[in-house]
Structure 1
């Protein structure tokens, strides 16, 4: 790879990049870290967390804890009390949460209301439904928090423990320690600090499903390689190939961008490409046709450019 050209582009247009890992056919072909970051540093991966949650949902289905994505969301919350005149919520399915086609009772996401509450799952459930139409795409980070409750209620154990046992330990990824915030300032510091580690949890100890996980670029590449291998890792099927195929294909669409089960489907050329995309540019990119996995970890930066153009113009052409 033309390292000088790539570095110039990153410095000029993607200066908040912390680390870049490129793999071809399962082998590391490029690795670099920027702005003082090291190989072992973990970074908050923002909404890339959603795609990892999708893998965990698939594992729970494979293991029989969840019957189907067509199950109604409220089946997992039998004690939840529905407010009067609220009928929409009863018909929302797990698939609607996974494909961002569930309606919510807000115009703009009420992050502060949810993340300052004592129970983030219930706070998110209270926002589900309303007068919107089931099936219309509405991207929701707070709504994704409901999936934590689905996993924990279905499996009977914490999402942290379930992910440790079924994903992180098999991939030899250091198990994220729970992080909680005492105030708004600690929350902001977590998002903005250069090197953070762990997984954000609510006051009850349940982790975030839509953001809040930290990983190193190499850890992100392991997740990508697992997905490229259709859920297989060193001969062991961690999540079914059927789930990986189903979860990374188009089920919904936001403008011209196809969306799967918490994955973005980028297959515009028959390559089967899909990606996990997070705020500030963090990316796990998987191209099955070229057998390429690219992991990019990025520090927080408002309105940072997505990394897909960087990948398509300055990385992929050099490794095909």
Structure 2
């Protein structure tokens, strides 16, 4: 009996080890000058990050780290960059035939607490991916800035108008989980984090309801790498939040720079990435700012060929992919406490990066 129990314990621990451990990616480092960057220019960038209160930053060029600043292993909430994290696992489900992007909300049985009209239910999954659903129902994790630009309910036809809409993004997460039978964080861990050899992401996640928080100053975010934020007075569908390190985000950016290929395996369809990073909605023609599918895109302008894509989080976090420079950029701020870094500082940071190019 003792041997039997010991055997069960051994195999249980073995299974646990297999589900939690994986080979971690080994980062390579290189001198900036060998990859087209000035050390003095990057020194100016370092001084700026220190002055403005960044948490960490990485520049990977030609798959090598040429610039690393701060604690790149510390995990923080990534805020809206969660949408780009969803892009990969959603694309895998589409490629596997689990999700039809032409399916309508009506066909998928999607409704919400305030009820959707027949017109709203005619929105397709593809419309939600492009943030063009025309469904302006209340949603979880919506900022004041989002509310200022929010159209009236039923004022736009599905697919006709771009509005950065957390309802769309949250419902996409629900659709993915319904069609796969797994949580977003389980899917991400198995399909992305483990194959890439991420250092700090694991499958643990929690749930909280923001409606039940009495005093925001006393509330602490879950310390897990994933958490669902419900606001059940507004919507049935939670926001799904990620906490990640700069290093793990850099690996994710490199996967997209590789057009979805990793160690010889096509993890994400190349065509999915190309469709996701096309400018489906140009919302600022002067600067060529556009939205693709769960990624922001730099559209071609008179002074720029286009092709780069990125996502920001609360205006200060950034994951940028620059194919013409073969570069991945990650910038982090510890927004889980008081911080001083601003959106204007982010623009200055980007300028300093490109000023450092030889």
Task: Please give the TM-score of this superposition, normalised by the length of structure 1.
Answer: 0.80
> What is the CA–CA distance in structure 1 between the aligned matches of 2:133 and 2:340, rounded to whole Å?
27
> What is the CA–CA distance in structure 1 between the aligned matches of 2:114 and 2:239, rounded to whole Å?
25
Counterpart position of 1:216: 245
TM-superposed deviation, 1:132: 3.0
Stretches of structure 2 that go unaligned for 5 or more consecutive residues are 1-38, 143-151
Counterpart position of 1:157: 182
> What is the CA–CA distance in structure 1 between the aligned matches of 2:168 and 2:341, rounded to whole Å?
22
The answer to whether 1:133 aligns with 2:157 is yes
Counterpart position of 1:122: none
Find the residue that maps to 1:31 and give its secondary structure. strand
Counterpart position of 1:168: 193
Q: How many residues align?
A: 292
TM-superposed deviation, 1:248: 0.6
After TM superposition, the structure 1 stretch with the greater mean CA deviation from structure 2, 237-246 or 304-313, is 304-313
Counterpart position of 2:274: 245
TM-superposition CA deviations, 1:30-78 (whole Å, max 9, x none): 1011xxxx332101110000111112111111111113x2221333337
Counterpart position of 2:208: 181
> What is the CA–CA distance in structure 1 between the aligned matches of 2:327 and 2:112, rounded to whole Å?
47
> What is the CA–CA distance in structure 1 between the aligned matches of 2:115 and 2:314, rounded to whole Å?
37
Counterpart position of 1:88: 119
> What is the CA–CA distance in structure 1 between the aligned matches of 2:155 and 2:242, rounded to whole Å?
32
> What is the CA–CA distance in structure 1 between the aligned matches of 2:133 and 2:282, rounded to whole Å?
13
Q: Could you say if the C-alpha distance between residues 189 and 319 of structure 1 is closer, same or farther in structure 2, counting changes exceeding 3 Å?
A: farther
**Which one of 328, 335, 342 corresponds to residue 304 of structure 1?**
342
Give the conservation status (yes or no) of the 8 Å contact 1:43–1:197: no
> What is the CA–CA distance in structure 1 between the aligned matches of 2:47 and 2:355, rounded to whole Å?
16
**Which one of 254, 257, 264 corresponds to residue 235 of structure 1?**
264
> What is the CA–CA distance in structure 1 between the aligned matches of 2:238 and 2:139, rounded to whole Å?
18
**Which one of 289, 296, 300 corresponds to residue 264 of structure 1?**
296
Give the conservation status (yes or no) of the 8 Å contact 1:88–1:129: no
CA-based RMSD of the aligned residues comes to 3.2
Which has more radius of gyration?
2
**Which one of 285, 292, 295 corresponds to residue 330 of structure 2?**
295
Task: Please give the TM-score of this superposition, normalised by the length of structure 2.
Answer: 0.72
> What is the CA–CA distance in structure 2 between the aligned matches of 1:84 and 1:145, rounded to whole Å?
16
TM-superposition CA deviations, 1:192-240 (whole Å, max 9, x none): x9xx541112579x8734xx21110011101100000000111111101
Q: Which has the higher contact order (CA 8 A, sep 6+)?
A: 1
Q: Could you say if the C-alpha distance between residues 306 and 199 of structure 1 is closer, same or farther in structure 2, counting changes exceeding 3 Å?
A: farther
TM-superposition CA deviations, 1:155-175 (whole Å, max 9, x none): 122222222211111112222
TM-superposed deviation, 1:112: 7.2
Find the residue that maps to 1:57 and give its secondary structure. helix
Counterpart position of 2:31: none
> What is the CA–CA distance in structure 2 between the aligned matches of 1:26 and 1:152, rounded to whole Å?
32
